[in-house]
Amino acid sequence: MKYNISEEKIVFDDHYKIVKAKITYDTFRGKKITANRLAFERGDSVAVLLLEKESQSVLLTQQFRYPGCKAHNPWLCEIPAGSIDKNESPENCAEREVMEELGYKINQPKLINTFYSSPGASTERIFLFYSEISEKDKVGIGGGNAGEKEDIRLLKIPVSEIPSEILKIKDAKTIVALQWYLIQQKK
């Protein structure tokens, strides 16, 4: 099956971009569709599921997220995450984000999967990592990047409470990561 992008135009350019495209693509029935589509170009991101060995807890962040205001719940619980900088590897970004947000040093995070956050609208892929840490790996302050006006609180969820706590989580990447962890425990 083939596709062709005949036009692309940036229709919004701020911190993020929105691109409008004219696309023609093959259908599953052997025909072609031509349509205009929009894509939110956010760039790729990382997210990291952390297990603190001594406490047998997963470490989450809690922070204000403007889009959550629409549902009157802007303080979301999430795994540490952030945007990959230009010329930065996903692994280095994962290490940087965990340090910025929670103050933990991680080494060689394990890639679990790469997936689209919202493939109908966004080009963003999330590189999801897992890392086991120790209490002694808490070497920084955490709390977020002041230059980005972040205010992040550390939450520790005991592994035994994941099945009940996962139902309260409203962030998709965190739900994916916690479900992955629960599946791994049953193997």
Q: What is the pLDDT of residue 31?
A: 97
Q: What digits encode the pLDDT tens for the residues 27-40?
A: 999 999 999 999 99
The H or E element spanning position 95 is helix 90-102
Q: Tell me the sheet residues that pair with 125.
A: 116
Stretch 142-166: mean pLDDT? 95
pLDDT category, 19, cuts 50, 70, 90? very high
Q: What is the pLDDT of residue 30?
A: 97
Alpha-carbon span 64 to 76, nearest angstrom? 6
- Report the 10 Å Cβ neighbour count for 59: 24
Alpha-carbon span 30 to 121, nearest angstrom? 25
Q: What digits encode the pLDDT tens for the residues 50-101?
A: 999 999 999 999 999 999 999 999 999 999 999 999 999 999 999 999 999 9
The domains located in the chain, with CATH, are: 3-41 (no CATH), 45-186 (3.90.79.10)
Alpha-carbon span 153 to 40, nearest angstrom? 28
162 and 50 in contact (C-beta within 8 Å)? no
From the number of C-beta atoms within 10 Å of its C-beta (0-12, 13-18, 19+), residue 121 rates as middle
pLDDT category, 143, cuts 50, 70, 90? very high
Strand 45-52 and strand 81-83: pairing?
antiparallel
Distances 23 to 12, 16, 35, 46, 158 between C-alpha atoms, Å = 19, 22, 5, 29, 48
Q: What is the pLDDT of residue 171?
A: 96
Alpha-carbon span 179 to 58, nearest angstrom? 12
Tell me the whole-structure pTM to 2 decimals. Answer: 0.94
pLDDT category, 20, cuts 50, 70, 90? very high
Distances 165 to 29, 129, 153, 184, 186 between C-alpha atoms, Å = 44, 20, 17, 17, 18
Mean pLDDT for all residues in the chain: 96
